[in-house]
Structure 1
């Protein structure tokens, strides 16, 4: 038995190994947690340097103190997915959206060393990468100042589970965590993004039953257009990527209005008429619960 997945690379169909590997997945994760090295790179963007990153080295106070990091401003942390790096479109699109509308610190997590290779090996490394991110954030706030009330973690695909692990590493202190179509294959396990990752955890599902996880995993789970093939898309990769495009648009306009659903099936068939709640945006004080359906259009700003 095989499954097909393309969470980040351009190829629309990538075959990964037999699903029987899942029997060893959690053991492999635990072994990797014991033996992994921190290969993450942390790229800081601010309004003073919106396109050229300053590299902050975990444990190197000078690299932090000589940067444009401002502890009085909110901190947005973005993690890409499988097979990508700090220049991935998810990073550039969301970074520019945040900096265009608000004066914040943005840290892009380049975990390309661990994200390389096949999907299974990258997945196994995710919890350790997330733990290292959590350790970095604790050091950052301790050394450079800041407040967990101002910390918003955002991750796409495998990056969603990465920031989920980071949030749990620091005891669920981040005020907000956003998962953008969290990766599906192999991720019905304790290492996935969940409600314990932050004080408010939100997931935007745009490619369920394929690259993205299907079941609700957060305080609030949004299923745009039924969470499956998105308007204007004819491939799963397009629909998977739509999650970060919708989120970037929501930062700028906050116009996606969800309607609460009684259950997941209602969301999938897009027949929900409950209370309203906006999808996405960058509001740190956002709170909510439930499953929501959202209708979007086929082109920017959707």
Structure 2
């Protein structure tokens, strides 16, 4: 009798353990987030793409370069492009009013600030593509943030410094508004990968007053449990475009804003054979929507609908350059393989 009771207790424990594993697995799948740093699926060594178009080995337990972080926000550079100077940048400097007053910045026009990702700089592909889309459509102030001093550090240091650089961007925007009289209603912050979280921190510094914030496949590794990641409180309208946010993806796969788009399911993209291509499609899609405003999503009730392409809810446009955009929900967008998608 004692042996039978012991055997039954062992089976009961086994059943509880199996159910617990099943629950964790289902929760993980339903949440659809890249949780590389989560205990159950932790990978210390991963590969992550730089804005140089290459995959790089990353140690998620790398040492943080604390010395580099001292005063890092002061090393940001801001480059202005308008239709009067579409190819030759004018440098804007915080606390230097003349650099702004003597530039082509026009407060009557919409302002978009473009922020690159890890290992990027002012010449990274995202900057020129989005700049040309805006200036090819109409008058605008396009400001490119070059945060290369931090972005070229190891990934872990870059993650640690993103909130600092984001606060610096917020302070610059506040100064720009103070000097020019520009309205927060006409300011749009756009960031890619690590830059997606950076613009969130900038919006937070501005107490959520900017009209729009767009995170283009915001980075996933080391952000799942990070309170500094972008969220819907960072701007009046916060939008996420997720193109490589699967379980082993490079982007953050869960909703982060008022509206989140999951093109082609949000994991891999038509015409792409590599994760870098999938990741970069976020800014390529966005630039295309600025020009054509043609990619429209269907609202989804859950993650399964997103994956199976069975979303049948309301329609809502992805991206574009509208400053009065408002909405809520998760949407799937189906695209073509080639530009303009």
**2:57 aligns to what SS in structure 1?**
coil
2:23 aligned partner:
none
1:35 deviates by 5.4
1:180 aligned partner:
216
Q: Given the superposition, is the C-alpha separation of residues 32 and 220 from structure 1 closer, same or farther in structure 2, using an over 3 Å criterion?
A: farther
2:340 aligned partner:
301
Within 2, Cα distance between the matches of 1:36 and 1:246?
Answer: 31
Q: Are 2:121 and 1:88 equivalent residues in the alignment?
A: no
Q: How does 1:56-135 map to 2 (within 5 A)?
A: 56-135=92-171
1:10 deviates by 2.1
1:15 to 40, 57, 61: 57
Q: Given the superposition, is the C-alpha separation of residues 11 and 33 from structure 1 closer, same or farther in structure 2, using an over 3 Å criterion?
A: closer
1:171 to 207, 218, 231: 207
Q: Figure out how many residues of one structure are paired with residues of the other and give that number.
A: 295
Deviation by residue 1:55-86 (Cα, 9 ceiling, x = unmatched): 01111111111100111111111000000101
1:3 deviates by 2.6
TM normalised by structure 2 equals 0.83
Q: Given the superposition, is the C-alpha separation of residues 61 and 106 from structure 1 closer, same or farther in structure 2, using an over 3 Å criterion?
A: same
Within 1, Cα distance between the matches of 2:108 and 2:322?
Answer: 16
2:81 aligned partner:
45
1:7 deviates by 4.5
1:102 deviates by 1.8
1:279 to 318, 324, 327: 318
Instruction: Extract unaligned runs of 5+ from structure 2.
Output: 1-42
Are 1:223 and 1:268, in contact at CA under 8 Å, matched by a contact in 2?
A: no
1:148 deviates by 0.4
Are 2:68 and 2:150, in contact at CA under 8 Å, matched by a contact in 1?
A: no
2:49 aligned partner:
6
Q: Are 2:241 and 1:201 equivalent residues in the alignment?
A: no
Are 1:7 and 1:157, in contact at CA under 8 Å, matched by a contact in 2?
A: no
1:201 deviates by 0.3
Are 2:80 and 2:91, in contact at CA under 8 Å, matched by a contact in 1?
A: yes
Segment of structure 1 superposing worse, 3-12 or 244-253: 3-12
Within 2, Cα distance between the matches of 1:35 and 1:108?
Answer: 20
Q: How does 1:22-37 map to 2 (within 5 A)?
A: 36-37=72-73
2:10 aligned partner:
none
1:238 to 277, 293, 302: 277
Are 1:7 and 1:211, in contact at CA under 8 Å, matched by a contact in 2?
A: no
**1:15 aligns to what SS in structure 2?**
strand
Within 2, Cα distance between the matches of 1:107 and 1:64?
Answer: 12
Within 2, Cα distance between the matches of 1:163 and 1:32?
Answer: 20
1:34 deviates by 7.0
RMSD: 1.8
